[in-house]
Amino acid sequence: MMTERIVLFGGTFDPVHNGHLIAARAVAEERGYRRVTLVPSGRGPHKGPAAAPDTDRLEMLNLAVKGDDLFEVSQTELQRAAPSYTFDTLLEIREACGDDRPIDLVVGADMLADLPDWYRADDVVKLARFVIAARPPWHEKMGAISALLVERFGKRLAADLIVGICTTPLIDISSSAIRERLSAGLPVRYMVPDAVEEYIRSRGLYLRDGSSGPVCGGGADGDR
């Protein structure tokens, strides 16, 4: 029997949305994965501070995947001191799971374009195989991204990286658009799972830039 791969899908998930879930499912289907581990990042080096506290981002992820056997949620990056580096996560997972199981790292093509600048990128590409979720219009940019990777890592490693491209459907949802909609008082129904929307409302998250807190706590009335 083939050893089952460990499949990681990282992100800020601030908040998790249906675009993440649909993309992860599409990749899993295409690659035949039975499990995908979602890894929410600490306040990472690639983004500014998350708009929701770690505990809320984690809780939203747990709610989003409840009852779906494909997904599990890892707290590894949240438990470490920020910033979260993929390199450290891979080492930690390697240590926990032993050397036998290969690791696949699912990344959006947008993230892949930044890969040459990742912390210890040369080691990261050796520790895990990359599976690239390329949604339109990113799939059109894969030529340019490939050239960048060849230049940075050499032909052989770049070829390994590029082997794992999955074209995912275009679901035009992003966490930033959701945060903007919520802070403008607009609905986010169908963009996030219902349970996530309920949680956001009950905790008063994303009401205004930089401010959030329980609605009933009296601190989130702001200018709405």
Catalog residues that contact ligand ATP under the rule CB under 6 A: 11-14, 19-20, 23, 107-108, 110-111, 133, 135, 168, 171, 173-176
Closer by beta carbon to ligand ATP, 68 or else 221:
68
Closer by beta carbon to ligand ATP, 111 or else 124:
111
| Chain position whose Cβ is nearest to ligand ATP | 108
Work out how close the CB of 139 gets to ligand ATP at its nearest, in angstroms, rounded to a whole number: 11
Ramachandran area for residue 42 (φ above 0: left; ψ -120 to 50: alpha; else beta): beta
Residue pair 105/131 in contact by the 8 Å Cβ criterion = yes
Core vs surface per residue 4-24: b (16+ CB within 10 A) or e: ebbbbbbbbbbbbbbbbbbbb
Work out how close the CB of 2 gets to ligand ATP at its nearest, in angstroms, rounded to a whole number: 26
Work out how close the CB of 55 gets to ligand ATP at its nearest, in angstroms, rounded to a whole number: 16
Question: Radius of gyration over alpha carbons of the chain, in Å?
Answer: 18
Closer by beta carbon to ligand ATP, 190 or else 221:
190
Work out how close the CB of 94 gets to ligand ATP at its nearest, in angstroms, rounded to a whole number: 21
Exposure of 93 in the CB half-sphere (CA atoms within 13 A): 25
Closer by beta carbon to ligand ATP, 55 or else 176:
176
Residue pair 121/51 in contact by the 8 Å Cβ criterion = no
